[in-house]
Amino acid sequence: SKVPPITLNNGVEMPQLGFGVWQVPDDEAETAVATALEAGYRSIDTAAIYGNEEGTGKAIARSGVPREDLFVTTKLWNSDQGYDATLRAFDASVSKLGLDYVDLYLIHWPTPERGLYVDTYKAFEKLHADGRVRAIGVSNFLPEHLERLIAETSVVPAVNQIELHPHLQQHASREYHAEQGIATEAWSPLGQGKGLLEVPAIVAIARKHGRTPAQVVLRWHVQLGNVVIPKSVTPSRIKENIDVFGFSLDAEDLAAISALNEDRRLGPDPAEFNGA
């Protein structure tokens, strides 16, 4: 199953579907990422705070997949914000991953109370200029944080990775991203598998297409133009989640899923979260 790329605002291509490894312990990450790479995933989403950059890196090294065919994302944790701290944290991440460069580096949260995301992003611009990161972006930024970043720095973020699923459709952010040329990447695209996959409307659409509820939700994201990074450690689900490019939802299906929006977050509110 081949995943089509989207082209970021700096010309770099990113697979529209990748593999997320949040909450996968380091010693299980190697097996999970290896399973994903065998299933055809070429994009991996990790973060310093996930504590599994080493396991992820081992799977990458052992896979035999050429580096240029992979798209590796990692994220800078909140306590490492600030110009110098960011440069040090980046070195630690690439060293754990066993890589010379990453494809996408994200500021994990804006943590607005710290007041450091602009300085942090200036270090990202240096890493980008030095060729150590192919694209730079952010995560969990609200439009107000992006506005400030765009006004005070020179590289428009390539990506904003935000919580997004049928119960939290993020219309305002998606619209703002589209205006600015920022790709929207959906985290917890399956709503963490909690309840969303049992919603009758989604179950009915899955039956209609002979697909699973997870495939229907991922296909909805793909047709909206979102980048998605579903997570699973179960081999059959890892395979199922990438197999969403051989069918299409029709206008009626898309409308039924759009009607499920409740503006309900599973994770923290980025305006308030300052997690250590």
Choosing from 50, 105, 121, 176, the catalytic residue is: 50
Using rule CB under 6 A, residue 170 touches ligand NAD: no
Q: Is 273 in the site for ligand NAD (CB under 6 A)?
A: no
Task: Among 34, 39, 197, 224, indicate the residue that binds ligand NAD (CB under 6 A).
Answer: 197
Beta-strand ranges (E) seen in the chain are: 5-7, 13-15, 19-20, 43-45, 71-76, 102-107, 133-139, 159-163, 183-187, 227-228
Asked about 50 being catalytic, the answer comes back as: yes
122 interacts with ligand NAD by CB under 6 A = no
Each residue 14-53 as x (binds ligand NAD by CB under 6 A) or -, in order, gives ------xxx----------------------x--------
Among residues 87, 74, 226, the alpha carbon closest in space to that of 139 is found at: 74
- 222-261: contacts with ligand NAD (CB under 6 A): 229-232, 237, 240-241
DSSP 17: B
Taking the CA atoms of 228, 230, 235 and 236 in sequence, report the sign of the dihedral they define. Answer: negative
User: What phi, psi does 263 have (nearest 5°)?
Assistant: 50, 40
Give me the least distance between CB of 213 and ligand NAD, in Å please: 7
Give 246's DSSP letter.
Answer: S
Which listed residue (214, 227, 242, 257) binds ligand NAD by CB under 6 A? Answer: 214
Sign of torsion over alpha carbons 264, 223, 146, 69: positive
Q: Which residues bind ligand NAD (CB under 6 A)?
A: 20-22, 45, 108, 139-140, 161, 187-193, 197, 212, 214, 229-232, 237, 240-241, 267
Which residues are known to be catalytic? 50
